[in-house]
Each structure stands twice: as structure tokens, then as C-alpha cells.
Amino acid sequence: MHISIFVYGTWGDIRPHVVLGMALQAAGHSVQVIASPVYEAWVRERNLGFYPLTADVNVFTKEHASIMDAGALQQLQLARQQLTPIFIQMGREVLEATRESDVLMTVEFGLSLLFDVVRVNKLKVILINPAPLNPTREFSSAFPPAPAWFPFPAWYNRFSYSMLERIQWSLLSAARNELASKHLGQPQSPLRQFRAMLALTPALTTVSKHVLRRPADWDEHWQITGYLFDDDPEWQPPPDLVTFLESGESPVYIGFGSMPDSKPEVTTRVLIEAVQRTGKRAVILTGWAGFGGEQMPENIHLLKYAPHHWLFPKMAAVVHHGGAGTTASSFRAGVPTVIVPHNADQPYWGRRAHELGVGTLPIPRKKLTADRLTAAITEATSSQTMREKAAELSQKIAAEDGLGEALRVTTAILSNKTPIY
């Protein structure tokens, strides 16, 4: 079969998709990745086909760091106003890229944009969800999670998925409707049709079964596979990083990955102050925020890049933004975690890490202060219970074969050749 994998996010989003794509191609399928041209060389090195998107959400995110300072509703409004032209262009390009495809693999958000493209090109869809997105009464959607005080959790849990579907549908309505009317010759589709398709669409939730149990009320075509890790065994650390790691006790990692920051110099000072108060050593990732810009104390090493699978096990604790991929890597490393969620599913992972006993209470990005971060780092590096639970979870994850399970489930889905549209 010819399989197209549509990914519009960051490195943490594209890596699991490509890992599964490589396994599918090795199993005899033809696989192409549809993504930002930033990833083209990396994908082609792995012998997969590639279709570059000229529209790139990441460029917008980097250029509009101040959007992170807005409230959740304002963020949605700004995204709808300013991202609609990007989504329209993205949809047109995916339409062309998938004309010869049999299967489209993407996340649920991608399907809400490409709903009519799927129907016109008669594509079988398989969702790859990095967080809980299929409805259940057992726990809430990754966004928005249930408030702790809510008295009817089972009711809210199911409702949260319906709310997420409506938010996605509304956010992308202008782009989707223009795609349908101007480029596909289709009438505007109602939300109920999207919900009907979602109910029938197979989905792989690529999370460890020890982090997220499979709900008893899920349909058979919704499965939890385990994590899809992408390791680079040939990567070699720069000498200055090796020297720093060997010169003292295990440091604390601090990095917010692909999260931009409208005031990176202010946040940098907060991070430095917190580290100095704890008396710990630290590795700070510059990231998209661009942390740094000043002379670092001797106990802090500024880092541009190191793969999580290599770096995290060497840390005393990991402070990060709570992206699904980074969270998976921190769980795998077996060290305590401190999550500073910025948006999307990150608050969910912050809460989940704490529930599992492997992380402190999350610190919402807007509430990040030197005092709060100092307290969280101190707790994460001094709690023997947290360290033991983190090590136990790491061992359980190591015993899983997420990629093998994802390939098995996908192969079974592909054996049913009836498209869902």
C-alpha cells in the first residue's frame, strides 16, 4: 500500500511518525512523509519519500512568541485569525500529495482539517495520537483535563472529548470550508459527520500502557501501543558537555524545547536564580526560547542540543515543558521530573507525572518563579520515593516494544481495505 504520513509539528512530533513509517516500509509498504522542508534531508536519509509543505506552522510559532502570554481562549482566537491562510495552503498541498495514496496517517487535529480531502481522495485513515484523544468515561481528554474539584468526573471525562472535537472543528472551520468549496467542489461538512468518522477511525495511542491504561469502554479499533522512541546510537556528545558532566555530581536538566518565549532574558534569570538557590549543577537547553545571552555561572552548562535518550539518564532530575515526546523520554530515563506546562496537552502530562509519583506538582508557565522552581527542583532531587518510582516506571517501559506493537496493530488495520469516509 502507498501510505502518506502527515505531520505539521516539531521534531518531537515528527520523530515517532517516521520511526513507524520506517517499520511500515520495511514491511513492504511505500511510505511518504508530508511535512515542513526543515525535515526533508533527515527523512530522506531514512529512505522514506518526502513531500514538502510550503506552509509551516512552526515559523508562525517562532515569530509570534507573545501568543504564549495570552489566555487559552485568546490563543485560540489568534490562531484562528492568523493561521487560517497557512491551514488552507497546507490542506491544498496534502490534497495533491495524497492523490495516489491509499492510507493517510495523522493526528486527530490533522483529520479535522483534512476531513473533506480524505473523502475526495478516498483515503483510509489511521490516527496516531500521542495523548488520550478517544472518548472514554474513565479519564478526561488530554485537553482540557477535568478540574480536580469537579463532582461528576465520569460525566466530565466523556464530555471533555466532545468539547475537544468542537474546539478543533471550530478552529479549522474557515480553512476547511474554503478547501471544500473552492478546491474540492464540496459543500460544507457538519460537525456530526466528523464525529461519525472519528468513531469509526482506527487510532493508535502511542503511550506506555504503564502510563495510560486502555479503557474498558474503548472500541476494538482504538489501541494503546507503547512509546515510539527514535534513538541515534551514532550521536557523539561535544567535548565541553562531556567535561562538564564528568566534573561533578549529576546535574539537573532544564529545557522547554520548542516553546518560544517573549522575554527569554527574564526567564533565563529565573532559571539561573533557582539553580543557584538549590546549590545544584544544571544543564540548560537554549531551545526555541533562546535561553542564555549572558555569562553562565560555572555550575551551569548551556546546551544547544543533545538527544534525550543519551542525556536524561545522566541527570538528577529533568525540568521540561511537558511535551508528549519529552515526557516519554523523561519517564524512560528513570529520573524525577518537573513539568512547566505552556499549552495544549502539557498540563495533562504534568498532572499525570505527579499522579504516577514520578514528578512534582506541575508549575504552569505563567506561574513560574524562582521560588516555585527552587522548591520543585529541591523536592525532585531529594525525594527517595520519587526516584524509586521513576526507576520502576523506567524498567516497565524498557520491557515494552511500542514499535513492534504499533506495527502489529497497523498491519491488522491495513488488512481491512475498506476506506472510512
DSSP result, 239-256: HHHHHHHHTSS--EEEE-
* CA angle (212 as vertex; 211, 218 as ends), nearest 5: 165
Average pLDDT in the chain: 91
Nearest to 138 by CA among 213, 222, 205: 213
Q: Find out whether the peptide bond into 144 is cis, omega within 30 degrees of 0.
A: yes
Amino acid at position 88, single letter: I
> Is CATH 3.40.50.2000 what the domain over 239-398 is classified as, yes or no?
yes
User: What pLDDT digit, counting tens, does each position of 39-79 carry?
Assistant: 999 999 999 999 999 977 766 666 655 666 666 666 666 66
CA distances from 57 to 76, 96, 147, 259 (A): 14, 19, 30, 13
Q: 354-357 contacts: CB < 8 A, separation 24 or more? A: 356/211, 356/331, 356/389, 356/393, 357/385, 357/386, 357/389
- Please tell me the class of the 2-227+400-414 domain: alpha beta
User: What pLDDT digit, counting tens, does each position of 180-217 carry?
Assistant: 998 888 888 899 999 999 999 999 999 999 999 999 99
What local confidence, expressed as pLDDT, does residue 152 receive? 64
Contact 145, 160 (CB under 8 A): yes
> Which stretch of 145-159, 170-184, 350-364 has the lowest confidence by average pLDDT?
145-159
What local confidence, expressed as pLDDT, does residue 273 receive? 98
pLDDT reading at 127 higher than 50 = yes
pLDDT band at 260 (very low <50, low <70, confident <90, very high): confident
Average of pLDDT values for 263-285?
97
pLDDT reading at 379 higher than 90 = yes
Rounded to two decimals, the pTM is: 0.93
Contact 308, 329 (CB under 8 A): yes
pLDDT reading at 419 higher than 60 = no
| 239-398 and 2-227+400-414 share a CATH fold | yes
pLDDT reading at 296 higher than 60 = yes
pLDDT band at 421 (very low <50, low <70, confident <90, very high): very low
- Percent share of the chain, pLDDT over 70: 91
Domain boundaries, the chain: 2-227+400-414, 239-398
The single residue listed with the C-alpha cell 495511542 is: 205
What local confidence, expressed as pLDDT, does residue 289 receive? 86
Average of pLDDT values for 94-102?
95
Contact 355, 331 (CB under 8 A): no
Stronger pLDDT, 154 or 137, i.e. the higher one: 137
CA distances from 77 to 50, 83, 84, 177, 203 (A): 32, 10, 11, 17, 28
What local confidence, expressed as pLDDT, does residue 334 receive? 98
Average of pLDDT values for 163-167?
89
What local confidence, expressed as pLDDT, does residue 420 receive? 46
- Percent share of the chain, pLDDT over 90: 72
